[in-house]
Structure formats: structure tokens, C-alpha cells
Structure 1
Amino acid sequence: MPGRLLFTTVAQDLALVEPAEPPVTRVIREAAFGEGYAWPTWSPGGAQALVSHGWRASGAETHLEVVSLGLSGATDVLEAAEATSRFRNPDGHREPIAPGVMHYSYWAPDGRRAIVVARSKGGLTLTLLTPPSCPDGEPAGDPAAAAGDWSVRGLIDGAPMFSAWSPDGTTLAAHAGQQLVLYDTSGEGGGRRVLTDQPRFRAPAWSPDGRALYYAAPGSAGPDLLWRSHPDSGAREVVTEVDGLTAVLASPAGDDLALLTLESSGLGGRHLRVIDPADPQPRTVERGQVLGAFWSPDGTRLFYLMRAGVDLESSLMRYDLADGRRHALARFRPSPAYSTYFAFFDQYALSHALISPDGEWVCIGGVLAGNGAGRRPFAQQHGCYLLPADGSAPPRRVADGEIAFFAPGAPAPPAAGDKA
């Protein structure tokens, strides 16, 4: 069975679900009247979480903050977990960054630092959070290492704001406004370096070895181009042409790239293609109806959400790279939070896992088509469901909420040699 998942309940409590049979939900932090938690983010070692927290004080004044929470104890004692404020929105900028999204939090892969994106006078500000130093090999996300004050440093203002940590967790690529900037956050020098001042509105994508950074940007003339930049040398080259606004998802265990290009009609659907940068002849997966995608941990399968017809229904699909076949896994009406995830899928896929670490289970959030949920006014409207990634069983409801995220675990073994 899959491991634990973090989510927020319909009452905006922070909760943990053990997807046993039957599933067991533990409320970790209960939200009082006028208070709420949202968008929990697991640390890479699974011992900490960053969570957005909001409340209304006297006079209806709103306060927004990001808290850290230790999660290394036994499940039945986590209700007593202490939440420590790590970041607070400044006066005059206590608004969410998007409907239902107070902040965006994202841990570095080594757990030694994290970022928070929040509303500010510059539109959005990306802030670096650094827990106290810890011995090599001990993730800073562990409670013993993360005790005490964290340093808080604003890095960049602008909008839009997308970012991606290098695989070793030392370098942050930030797309802020019209610039794509590299930051050396390790404290070993290097500082800030602008890669380009013409990126498109999406997140950059690192290769698994950290040697290349991919992004789409306008060419000097004609169509947009997919670029491969080499941060160590500063060199870059064109991989292929892309016809329109394109998001890039790099396989976590191979060379393949998923390219999702907005269709020209402006209706919000995307074309989905997969390429190998060494031989960039694209394999078309779907045309025009894709809302977003995420990779399996071993890079052999690509999961994507696509429109399924009337009443805002969508289908979760799986594409197998080995044989090029597509498989329908579930049809449902996504919850507002699940829809938000896929509106910014290339960013959230880096920080919030909808697939288990072994690649065997997928989480969906919403109203499942055909199960009767939501047909009566008093029925639970949205739920979190788990389904096997191979499609061998139907989705199973495990929690009352809009979206849930898998705890990290041992990564799946590389499968680059097995790809098509």
C-alpha cells in the first residue's frame, strides 16, 4: 500500500491520512473559526512540512504566514506537533497569490533550504528560508537539525514567478517577470546570474544530472525555441522549435522531455509531445485537450489530465514510453485545488507529489464520475482518491478533501536504459 499523504480537510484543518483499509485520518492542526491551513509541502526526508496558515484577527484583519511542522513522530501523536512561524506576509500585502493559494512553498532536494513565494509590492516576492546548519548527510528538514531560528532573505521580485531547484539543491533557477536568473544559494559564491531576458511564462526544467537547464523563449525571428543551457559554462543551444507557449517537464530518470504547448485557439488546452533532446523528433501523445502532466519517478510513464467533455469532467491518462500506448485511468470532475495544481502543473510537479515514490499509486481530487458523490445536496462534494497506476483497480476514496500529497520515500531506481 502507498505511504502517508498530507492534505487539508473541507474545514481547512491540516490532516494526515494512512490509506489502509479502511483509511485512517489524523487531524494534526485543527483550524479555529476564521482560520485555515492549505497546501502542505513535505520536506525531502519526510520529517518536516511547510504549510500556509491564515487567520482573521479583530476587525477582520487578515494575517498570512508559512509555518514549519515536525512530522517524524508516530502518526497517533502528531496531533501535538508544534507549528513554528517561518515567514509572514508584510503589512499591506496580506493577500493570496491566487484564489485558494496563500503562498507557494518549495523545498530544495537536499532539504537544506526552501523558498516561499508571496504577495508583495513587487507583485510577487521569492524568499529563501534556510534552517540552521546541520552535519553533512543529515537533512536540514529533520526536526533536530531544524530547531531554532531560520534565516529569511528575499531574493527577487516580479511576476510571473516560476522556479526550479537544481538536483543537488545548491542552485535555484528563477523565472521572474522577463528574466530567467540563476542563484547560487549554497553560500559558496557565484551569486546571481541572468541567463536570458526573454523567457516564456513557465518553469525552467533541470536535467536529472543538473548539467542542463531547459526553457522556452522567443527566437530572433519565427517560432519560439526550446533552449538547452549549460549553467557551468554559460553556453546554450537550440533543441527544437516549439509552436507557441510551451511548458517543459524533464524526466526525473532519463533524457526525455515532455512538451506541453498551448493550442492557438486560446481555449486553454495543450498539445502534449515527448522528445529526446539527442534526437528531437517529437512523439505526439495528445492534441489540444491536455490540461497538465507529471512523470512517474522512474521516467517510464507520463500521466496527464485532459478534458473529457461536458460538465468540466476530465480524464486522468497514462502514456507508456516503451510502447507508446495510452491508457484511461479515471474520469472525474476536479476539485478547485486539483484544478489549481494543473493550472501551474510544471511548478507544482516539482514540489507536491501526486504519485507515490515507487510509482505504483496516483492521487486524484474531486468528484468521481459515476460513483454518485455530489448528486445530493448533503453528500460530500469532493474527495481524495487513490488508484493503482497500472489501472488494475478503480479509484478508492481515502479522505474528504480537495487534494492530497504523498510523503517522500526512497526514489525509484533509474530506468533511463529501458526507455523507448
Structure 2
Amino acid sequence: MDLDWVSYMRDKTGGWAIILSLLTLALACNGASEPVAEQLDKVVEPGIVEQGESEEVAVDRIAFMTTDGELFLVNPDGSEQLKLAGDTQVQGGPLGAVMAQPRDVSFFYSWPTWSPDGKKLAASLVEVTGGQPEISVQVIDVATGAATTVFRNEVPGLVAENAPHYLYWSPDSRTLAVLASTPQGLTLFAADTESLTEPTVIESGAPLYFHWGADGQSILLHVGDELKLSTRPFGASSGQLIDADPGFRVPALSPDGRHMAYMGTGTPSGSLLIAETGATGTARNALDIGFRAAFAWSPQGGDLAVADQQNSSAPTFDRLRVVPGDGGSIKTVAEGRIIAFYWSPNGEMLAWAGLDGGNREFVWWAATVEGGEIRELLRAQPSNDMLVTLSFFDQYAYSHSPWSPDSSRLVLAIVPNRSREGRNGSTPPGPSIFVVEANGASEPMEVGVGSLAFWSWN
């Protein structure tokens, strides 16, 4: 698509006046004799490490992005907020101390993506120099702040609204799958973040959705109207398994990698199929579903959550069910106007977002899979960036988790008091980051000001 990237950056940062003010700050920081971290109220030192080493692992930390293109880390209680990248960036100091250093203010970071081991964050970077945009993918060491370029775009383009890339780590935290816009269209690359060899093309086409296998050796893809399985070494042509039904987007691999779930053609309309991975001849009909569906296995294996809709043109799903892996009775978890759902890491709960039928408010709910009480967690408008993740939740759920590692809380980017914005000449509020208890026992807690946030996997 054609895109005026200068206008894009202006919209995201709130105007060039802000950029000029940040430039003034950066120049002032360059002349300072003490670390920038000591001059910024909320920038703290995460520890003493040797530059280039990564001894620390982020445990129970939240990464969030601001509308000014900065990346932050913060604890779930809002403490120890650390600016990781943006107009100032955390880097190793001359004696190994971690300090914040000034950065070129034309840098705009977005879509932080945790590695499974909690040591790295991948992020998209847009740099505008002389009015010309350059887009790349950076991998940032969360202990030292050191950034490495692992991918560069041939042309500027988006894969979704406000998203230069879609990023998804392999389970071993080494290979980064990068979905980017290229002259050939949407293209999926595999970037080795350790050897830094030239990224390998896995597949091109549109639409393109995929799921890493648990061993990191294979990727199940839904490209156009085909279901394909690509295995290492990537770069060879992917093996077509079967024509895919247009009623679903992301195929699902079981946590042990032995089975795959999908909707295939040549079967009765509205059939959810489960087969041995790569062997469509073993497929069985697991559930009769509507014309449009999204599904995901529990992280602990066995149970399969399915949201579906009888009306193929409806923008929401009308029910959320769980197919037990032990062959037990199918459970209906929720009914209504469901937009997205997410498994808790322990596989015991589901959280979902939907619309209140009466006043069309966005609402978040949660419930245990075993039939516990449905708890309303929050009523609030998501940020524009979070709306992107909700719109493609069945893909983003594999790479960007709103759940805390212990399955007790969620982190959400919302616009507080959105219903009152614009009244009596008031200034519309900006998005903020809130932590919400999954049991609904306490009020949501604001932990930062930003447009998108994700929890570390550990």
C-alpha cells in the first residue's frame, strides 16, 4: 500500500512541535556530565552488567509502548519504570553501568515482542531521515539495552493498521518470524537473531497466518486458500497439505506438536477438523461450527477453545466453547458479541473481550473453563493499537500475551473515561496501561501511559 510516512509519524507523535522539543532535550542530555537516568524521574537502572552480556532475565515484567514511539519496562505494581528505547535508550555505560543515552528523535519504536526466555524484546523501528523513512526490526537485550538490527524492509509498508511488521519468536528464543510488506506482497521471513545471517523467506502471499510448532522446527501456515507445513531448513517450498476454508484465519498446533486444528474444504460446511500434524488423511470432525471461527489449544494441551459465528458477515462471534481433550462434554463458556479470547497460561481460565449489547461498550470478562462464575473485569474503550491485536487476536495471542505468567492478572491498554471525551470542550484522554485482576476482586491499577502493553512469558 502507498503510505505517507511523514504524515504517519506526525499523527503518532502529536506533531513536529513535540519532535523539536524532544530534540532540545536530547541536545541538553548530550551536554550533561551525569547519566541521563539521573535526570529522568522514572528511568531507573535495572542492574550492573557488562556491556554486551545478558545475565538478567525479565521475570513478571510488562513492556509497553507510548504514542511517542518509546518502549518502557515496568513492574506489575507500576514500580521500576525503565525507558528501554526511544528518544533516550538504555545502554551499557563505560564501566558496565546501565545508563540512558540520548537517541535521534526521529526514531519511532513500536510493537514490543517478548522472547519466550524473557531476555530479549523484538520491536519495529521507523527512522525518518531527511523526510525519508527506513523501517527495520530491532532485537533489544533487556539487561543491557543493546539493540541489534535483524531485519530491514525493502520498502516502507504496513502489515496492519499502525503495524510495520508482525513479530513472533520461535519457542527457543533464537529465530524471529517477521511478517513484512515487500514488493512481492506480504512475505514471512525467518531471522536468526544469533548468527545474524540474511533472513530466509519462508512464504509469500495474502492473507498469511501461521503458528510455530512447539519444537521450533516447523511452522503451520494458512496462505491464501491453502494450508501448508514448512519445516527447517526454511527456504525450500512449503508442502501443501490441503485447500483451506476461508472461514478461519490461524491454524492451531497442539502444545505437543502432534495435532493440528483447521477448517478444510471438501467437508460439510462448518466443520472443525483435528488431524495428526501434516497428515490430513487422519482428520476427524471435532465440532460442528458456524461459517466463521477462531480456535486455540490450551497452553497445557488437550482442551481446544472455539469461538464461532453462524453469520459469515457478522463482525463478532456469538459463542465461545471448549472442546475437552479427554472426550468429555463440550462446554459453552460464553455467549454474546465476542470479539477476542485468550487462554490463561495455566490453561484454567479464559478471558474475552466483547460488546455490551445495550450500549455497545467494550467489556472484558473472565471465567474458569470448568464452569465458574463469569466475572466482568472492565468496561473501557481499547487504544487504537490494542484494537489491532483484538481484530487479529487469533494470531497475536501466540506472540503477545496480555496474561501475567501466574494467570492471575491481565494488562490492557485502554482510554479511561472514553465516554466523556469531547464533552464541554474537554480534551479527549489518551490511552493508559492498566493491570486488571482476573478474579475481579480489585479495581484496575494504572501502571503507565501508553498505547500497547504485553506481559513477559516468565
**TM-score higher than 0.5:** yes
1:19 partner letter: P
Q: CA deviation at 1:252?
A: 0.8
Q: CA deviation at 1:166?
A: 1.0
Q: Give the equivalent residue in structure 1 for 2:48.
A: none
Q: 1:218 aligns with which of 265, 268, 275?
A: 265
CA RMSD of aligned residues (A): 2.5
Q: Tell me whether 1:120 sits opposite 2:191 in the alignment.
A: no
Where does structure 2 lack aligned partners over 5 or more consecutive residues?
Answer: 1-58, 88-103
Alignment check: 8 A CA contact 2:241 2:278 kept: no
1:241 partner letter: D
Q: Tell me whether 1:70 sits opposite 2:148 in the alignment.
A: no
1:88 partner letter: R
Q: CA deviation at 1:261?
A: 1.4
Q: CA deviation at 1:186?
A: 5.5
Q: 1:261 aligns with which of 282, 289, 308?
A: 308
Matches within 5 A, 1:401-416: 401-409=450-458
Q: Give the equivalent residue in structure 2 for 1:27.
A: 83
Q: CA deviation at 1:329?
A: 1.0
> Please, what TM-score do these two structures have when normalized by structure 1?
0.84
The structure-2 alpha-carbon separation of the partners of 1:363 and 1:371, relative to structure 1 and needing over 3 Å to count, comes to farther
Q: Give the equivalent residue in structure 1 for 2:97.
A: none
Q: Give the equivalent residue in structure 2 for 1:364.
A: 412
Q: Give the equivalent residue in structure 1 for 2:151.
A: 87
- The number of residues matched between the two structures is 380
Q: Give the equivalent residue in structure 1 for 2:5.
A: none
Where does structure 1 lack aligned partners over 5 or more consecutive residues?
Answer: 132-145, 410-420
Q: CA deviation at 1:199?
A: 3.6
Q: Tell me whether 1:340 sits opposite 2:388 in the alignment.
A: yes
Q: CA deviation at 1:86?
A: 0.9
Larger radius of gyration: 2
Q: Give the equivalent residue in structure 1 for 2:52.
A: none
Q: CA deviation at 1:258?
A: 1.2
**Bigger CA drift: 316-325 or 165-174?**
316-325
The structure-2 alpha-carbon separation of the partners of 1:280 and 1:199, relative to structure 1 and needing over 3 Å to count, comes to farther
Q: Give the equivalent residue in structure 1 for 2:13.
A: none
Partners of 2:106 and 2:325 in 1: CA distance: 50
SS of aligned partner of 2:315: coil
Q: 1:296 aligns with which of 339, 344, 351?
A: 344
Alignment check: 8 A CA contact 1:218 1:225 kept: no
Q: Whose strand proportion is higher, 1 or 2?
A: 1
Q: CA deviation at 1:312?
A: 5.6
Q: Give the equivalent residue in structure 1 for 2:129.
A: 57
Alignment check: 8 A CA contact 1:244 1:264 kept: yes
Q: CA deviation at 1:348?
A: 0.6
Alignment check: 8 A CA contact 1:297 1:358 kept: yes
Matches within 5 A, 1:277-292: 279=327, 282-292=330-340
* 1:195-238 Cα deviation digits (max 9, x unpaired): 21224341111112111010123344x42211112126553222
Partners of 1:251 and 1:150 in 2: CA distance: 34
Alignment check: 8 A CA contact 1:164 1:203 kept: yes
Alignment check: 8 A CA contact 1:373 1:381 kept: no
* 1:69-96 Cα deviation digits (max 9, x unpaired): 111x2xxxx5xx2222111111xx3111
2:439 partner letter: D
* 1:266-301 Cα deviation digits (max 9, x unpaired): 341103222225537532333340000000111111
Q: 1:396 aligns with which of 428, 445, 448?
A: 445
The structure-2 alpha-carbon separation of the partners of 1:233 and 1:219, relative to structure 1 and needing over 3 Å to count, comes to closer
Q: CA deviation at 1:149?
A: 2.3
Q: Give the equivalent residue in structure 1 for 2:398.
A: 350
Q: Tell me whether 1:7 sits opposite 2:55 in the alignment.
A: no
Q: Tell me whether 1:272 sits opposite 2:320 in the alignment.
A: yes
Partners of 1:312 and 1:10 in 2: CA distance: 26
State the percentage of identical aligned residues. 28
The structure-2 alpha-carbon separation of the partners of 1:279 and 1:266, relative to structure 1 and needing over 3 Å to count, comes to same
Q: CA deviation at 1:34?
A: 3.9
Q: 2:208 aligns with which of 161, 183, 186?
A: 161
Partners of 1:18 and 1:319 in 2: CA distance: 25
The structure-2 alpha-carbon separation of the partners of 1:245 and 1:186, relative to structure 1 and needing over 3 Å to count, comes to same
Alignment check: 8 A CA contact 2:416 2:429 kept: no
Partners of 2:272 and 2:63 in 1: CA distance: 35
Q: Give the equivalent residue in structure 2 for 1:100.
A: 162
* 1:320-373 Cα deviation digits (max 9, x unpaired): 122343111111111111111110101111001100111111111112459988
> Please, what TM-score do these two structures have when normalized by structure 2?
0.77
